[in-house]
Amino acid sequence: MTDYLSTGSLPEEYRQLALTVRDFADRVVAPVSAKHDAEHSFPYEVVAGMAEMGLFGLPFPEEFGGMGGDYFALCLALEELGKVDQSVAITLEAGVSLGAMPIYRFGNDEQRDRWLPQLTSGTALAGFGLTEPDAGSDAGGTRTTAVEDGQDWVINGSKQFITNSGTDITRLVTVTAVTGQTGGKKEISTILVPAGTPGFVVEPAYNKVGWNASDTHPLSFTDVRVPRENLLGERGRGYANFLRILDEGRIAIAALAVGAAQGCVDESVRYAGERQAFGQAIGRNQAIAFKIARMEARAHTARTAYYDAAALMLAGKPFKKQASIAKMVASEAAMDNARDATQIFGGNGFMNDYAVSRHYRDSKILEIGEGTTEVQLMLIARELGL
């Protein structure tokens, strides 16, 4: 089986990083994935291991406790983790892209100095409270409000589907809230809300179809008071700033999805060589071999797409369209490959002890979270002038 890391297509420092994360994923993550999935338990020991490796600090400067790397390095780590456990991969992706990155991009010196060393070290996590029952892609539906009262913001409202919001090491959530009206439209700003602030309640965790070891909660805010200096970035620019974060995050989600797609290929190749039926390995049947060949083609195409988007981003060139293409292609590849892998595994593919069954349950959210497939199509069409 040809390994993309053995082709010489990556600079050596990136290749070594990917190999190191692959080894960690195989030795530490994979053996406990089924257990945490079945128990719906957060893998604190795995997160601690990722923190020790410096994965949460990969794309941040050393002055903030980071590793001095870049976003592509993060993507390579996410791909390797996504092969064996999407819950672990999304914990890292959300911790970096949605938790720490908004503070790095838009925070002032005091906010960066206070929060980033904790977040980049992986000893603390942060969430981003954007989605509401009536608002996600539609910012105009935001109902959570933040009103100035003396030296404080007073926040009221609710959020849903917020990742990394209720762990024992969650230290804050960045919240989008309506802070006024501008030109007849809602003025949306982002405000930092530390964990434990009175009136800020992390509601019971969701019972999800997949990503069972990822921490996801609804949040409620009842007369939550935080200092005015907790405003993150310019007032009224909260949603606009987060769109930039989402563009970057879509490349990271694409990398995670490529990992899931490739993981299904690798598991299927192994199983097809071992499983005997009618006197021979099932991989000798052309129907099985061709199915796996198509799976490999999907993974390769999706990887090429996210590499391209990441290269444009790191070069400082426009990448919005390419990020949407990568996210759409990769998430569909993950879902298609998970379905095909489950079919190849037959009855075993329906058993939760097998990685392909978890990929089958986990992969669907990749077509929904951080911008649905329909949103990606809308963005691509818009970039084409349609």
- Rounded Cα gap, residues 386 and 381, in angstroms: 5
Tally of residues, the chain: 386
Mutual angle of helices 71-84 and 12-24, in 10-degree steps: 30
**H-only helix segments in the chain:** 12-24, 30-39, 44-53, 71-84, 86-93, 101-106, 109-121, 238-274, 286-314, 320-345, 355-362, 373-383
C-alpha angle 233/93/242, rounded to 5°? 25
**Cα–Cα distances in Å, from 306 out to 21, 30, 256, 326?**
19, 24, 10, 5
Answer yes or no: 132 catalytic: no
The active-site residue, picked from 274, 370, 374, 383, is 370
Q: What is the dihedral of CA 199, 204, 205, 206, to 10 degrees?
A: -110
Known catalytic residues are 370
